[in-house]
Chains A and B, each alone.
Chain A
Amino acid sequence: MPTSSLVMFEEEFKQITAVIDRLLKEANAKVVFLVDKDGQLIAASGETGDMDTTSLASLTAGNIAATGGLAKLIGEKEFSILFHEGEKDNLHISIVGQRVILVVIFDQRSSLGLVRLRVKKANDELNAILQKLLQRVEKKPAAQENLLAEITDSDIDKLFH
């Protein structure tokens, strides 16, 4: 396998959430979320109440994957920032450390300039956390092995009842 599974512990989750909470405030954004490139939601902050974050995560990843494919076709490595402008809400999408996607949803209470500025800072912080996490994953945590080793066949069968 080219990549091992992404394992995130409580501490890392807290650090990540702290960064995106702060980004939300400083950028005057409505929602900020972080998605794995495979489309899995890692963390979200803001008015996510009636938002379908699972679908958002999957479509964001699809979007990044498609534009990444386009980039390669014209000889670029990737487009690290995407911006979609709507009538009310706008979407700012950027890639963090080549592995995860940071999405900021904002309206007229903020501006593209402000969002860009704040995203840049958050990007560096998130990247540092992620690099540490990935290093740890490569070393394989004992805790993960314990958890998964305990799964039995009957646990799996029960899932479908």
Chain B
Amino acid sequence: MSFINYSSREINCKIVYYGPGLCGKTTNLSFIFKKTNPEHRGKMISLATETERTLFFDFLPLSLGDIKGFKTRFHLYTVPGQIFYDASRKLILKGVDGIVFVADSQIERMDANIESFENMKVNLNEQGYDLAAIPYVIQYNKRDLANVAPVAELKKVLNGNGVPDFEAVAAAGSGVFETLKAIVKLVLIELKKGT
């Protein structure tokens, strides 16, 4: 749920990175953090396990500049992808304005992608949201690996709705900002339409 403050002239929006365990959600945020001018971002907070798996969420606040005299701020969150953290995933989805679904392109993670995508729909429904009504984009990550499924295959399975989708190697940064830019755009367009 966006927050528009006429007094401080700010528009605040929440974007959630969703996807199966180890697909690269945290890596996306880390890269954005690394490549963004410190003036335009706050601290990145990672509530993670000893082994750097996300335990509750990662959080990265970005301020992208002005629109019509309003500062635009985007709060990026990742969910924990591991299946047993479902309760936490539901909490992070609350108040979401846009979603990046990060898929792991490796053939052996195909089932995990589908399961996570279905889980996302269920969790959204529980909050009274409908995926069809929420701005979202898809990222096919880890394209650098040898054992990846063809993009056409991933599209067929995950992108029946034909939303904007991107190939990425988040570990090296490629595709990361394209994905971010696309979701920011969709969120602002949705805001413009009015809720």
Partner of B191, one of A5, A37, A68, A69: A5
Q: What are the residues of chain B within 8 A of A40 when measuring CB–CB?
A: 3, 12, 14, 75
**Chain A interface residues toward B at CB < 8 A:** 1-10, 12-14, 36-40, 42, 52, 54-55, 58-59, 62, 65-66, 68-69, 140, 143-145, 147-151, 155-156, 158-160
Q: What are the residues of chain B within 8 A of A14 when measuring CB–CB?
A: 7
- CB-CB nearest in chain A for B67: A155
Interface residues of B toward A: which range?
A: 35 or more
- CB-CB nearest in chain A for B5: A8
Asked if B70 and A156 make an inter-chain contact with CB atoms under 8 angstroms apart, the answer reads: no
- CB-CB nearest in chain B for A4: B195
Asked if B67 and A66 make an inter-chain contact with CB atoms under 8 angstroms apart, the answer reads: no
Asked if A6 and B7 make an inter-chain contact with CB atoms under 8 angstroms apart, the answer reads: no
CB distance from A24 to the nearest CB of B (A): 18
**Chain B interface residues toward A at CB < 8 A:** 1-8, 12, 14, 42-43, 45, 47, 56-57, 59, 61, 64-65, 67-68, 70, 72, 75, 87-88, 90-92, 94-95, 127-129, 133-134, 177, 181, 184-185, 188-189, 191-192, 194-195
Distance in angstroms between the alpha carbons of A146 and B144 in the assembled complex: 45
Which of A4, A42, A55, A159 has the most chain B CB atoms closer than 10 A to its own CB?
Answer: A159
Residue pairs across A and B with Cβ atoms less than 8 A apart, 19 shown, are A1-B133, A2-B129, A4-B1, A5-B1, A6-B2, A37-B95, A38-B1, A55-B61, A58-B59, A62-B56, A66-B91, A69-B88, A143-B6, A145-B194, A149-B192, A150-B68, A159-B72, A160-B177, A160-B181
Partner of B64, one of A36, A59, A147, A159: A159
Q: What are the residues of chain B within 8 A of A54 when measuring CB–CB?
A: 42-43, 61
Asked if B68 and A147 make an inter-chain contact with CB atoms under 8 angstroms apart, the answer reads: yes
Asked if A37 and B94 make an inter-chain contact with CB atoms under 8 angstroms apart, the answer reads: yes
Asked if B45 and A8 make an inter-chain contact with CB atoms under 8 angstroms apart, the answer reads: no
- CB-CB nearest in chain B for A36: B3
Q: What are the residues of chain B within 8 A of A36 when measuring CB–CB?
A: 1, 3, 95
Asked if B7 and A8 make an inter-chain contact with CB atoms under 8 angstroms apart, the answer reads: yes
Asked if A6 and B68 make an inter-chain contact with CB atoms under 8 angstroms apart, the answer reads: no
Asked if B192 and A55 make an inter-chain contact with CB atoms under 8 angstroms apart, the answer reads: no
Partner of A156, one of B14, B56, B134, B185: B185
Q: What are the residues of chain B within 8 A of A12 when measuring CB–CB?
A: 7
Q: Tell whether A159 pairs with B184 under 8 Å between CB atoms, given A13-B8, A55-B43.
A: yes
CB distance from B124 to the nearest CB of A (A): 10
CB distance from B129 to the nearest CB of A (A): 7
Which of A8, A13, A38, A42 has the most chain B CB atoms closer than 10 A to its own CB?
Answer: A38
